[in-house]
Amino acid sequence: MFVLVHGAGMGADCWDRLLPHLSHPTLAVDLPGRGARSDVPITSVDLDGCAQAILDDVAAAGGDDLVLVAHSFAGVSVPRVMAQLAPRLRHVVFLSAVVPEDGTCVLDQIDPAVREAVRAATAGGVYSQGRDAARAMLCNDMDAEQAEWTLDRVVDDSAALLTETVDLSGLSTDVPRTYVRLTKDACYPPELQERSAARVGGDVAYLDTGHMAMVTAPEQLAAVLDAVV
């Protein structure tokens, strides 16, 4: 079973265009503060809560041979559950995932220009992407329809998630993993993906897309995911 974990400013519905192309059962997790967990106040969301949401959904779904897929910000939430889920994990896929040095935070790892845009979009404990800023970061390789579909799914997020100290000890778990590098990514540029891929270890795959490969190249991404099952 694929367990899909979205990035910052998104919910489980960001995977909707990928789902029809996957050949195995799939669970798309909503992290706290959005979608199925929209009752959780966004300012109360932290990394422990994100990890618990993943564990709770996996427990409810049951099953083994799990393939965890971490997109973008999920590069810091998925490692928090790898040790607990290790007996049930077949593979972990990091899709242009932000993986800063252990003991630092997400803001330390992102591109300086993007970092300033994120800081400007943060107030009162909430990270709220403007539509134009999100378009520049997420939609650079999209046609008009794909861009509008994506932007309609952008949600506010907890600012604390960007500054909380990360715990990457789960990466020491003996589970196969693959880092998928996106060559046209304007949100998490290729040179930063290279650093994250080195921290993750394992195999590396490439897709010639921007940050939202599940929208612009769902068939190609599905092929990469199916190959690790």
In the chain, count of helices (H) and strands (E)? 11, 9
Identify which of 61, 97, 126, 118 has the alpha carbon closest to the alpha carbon of residue 201.
97
Beta bridge partners of 2: 26, 67
Q: Which CATH superfamily is domain 2-226 in?
A: Alpha/Beta hydrolase fold, catalytic domain (3.40.50.1820)
Looking only at the bridges linking them, the beta strands covering 126-127 and 26-29 are unpaired
CB 96 within 8 A of CB 70: no
Rounded Cα distance between 101 and 103, Å, is 6
Domain boundaries, the chain: 2-226
pLDDT in tens, the chain (229 residues): 999 999 999 999 999 999 999 999 999 999 999 999 999 999 999 999 999 999 999 999 998 999 999 999 999 999 999 999 999 999 999 999 999 988 898 887 777 777 777 777 788 889 888 899 899 999 999 999 999 999 999 999 998 888 899 999 999 999 999 999 999 999 999 999 999 999 999 999 999 999 999 999 999 999 999 999 8
pTM for the predicted model, two decimal places: 0.94
**The total number of residues written for the chain in this structure:** 229
DSSP 106-132: HHHHS-HHHHHHHHHTEETTEE---HH
